[in-house]
Amino acid sequence: MRRIGFRYQRSIAAPAEVHGIGFLTGAMVRLRFLPAPPNTGIVFIRTDLRPEARVPACVSQVTGTQRRTTLGQPPIQIGLVEHTLAALAGLRIDNCFVELNAPEPPGLDGSARQFTHVLSQAGVRLQPARRAIYGVDEPIVIRQNGATLSLHPVPNPELKISYFLDYGLNSSIGRQMHSETVLPESFINELAEARTFLLESEAVELKQQGYGARTTAADLLVFGRRGPINNQLRHADEPARHKILDLIGDLSLFGHDLCGHVVAYRSGHPLNIQLVRALEQKLDREGGTVTRLAA
């Protein structure tokens, strides 16, 4: 890997708060974003435990990738962190304490829109410490069970993500593709409001497992045979956009900015985390060669 530059770290300028029902537990959750010093990273704090427990948002803390990203070891775990992390990463907020009184953030509408809204209202504070930007000299490709996730070098210092969604010809979710250069503005306008989605059969299965007791089809995107049930799409390619949102949240666990073109085909949390681990191992093995610095 090569370090192509840096930017100065950022935190929020004031606390921000969100309330809502947790998708997994059905509990009412209070989440607070709090400013953090330089080089803190993102740290989740479980205030419902005694003593309070902290879980840093880094790939070494990932303990689950089935349908969601989970951090920490029982009983100190936080599940479904990807939307919260996506909002922070999308706005380039590097240092933040995330207090919550439950083992998950509030589900809200299944997107990162409300997290993004309150963080934007809190404002951003520039910090004196630097955050490295890394790129690759050759593609890194992860494959598993017909899905592919890859990171390709690009000539410009930017992160672009393209997602190809394909559930098959007979799926109620049509084939679609979305591509986005990830900047705070594009995240707010094009990605933050894209919601979690699932098939009606998957929703029934999760209900039978005890999840989503207080969640209805109107709270997120549930696809039946004729499309979304009791809901309407915000974008024709909203599922593909949400997959990019999830990717942004998972990639933030790398702890550095990424430059390159991420191309995903039918991938999800397991491959996202595999890519982050591959990047971390590559960085540890090769170190970060400095090729250019940018203010």
Residues annotated as catalytic (active site), given as ranges: 269
Q: Is 276 exposed, middle or buried (0-12, 13-18, 19+ CB in 10 A)?
A: buried
In Å, what is the CA distance from 221 to each residue of 18, 81, 91, 232, 259?
21, 18, 24, 8, 31
Selection from 135, 134, 82 nearest residue 112 by Cα = 82
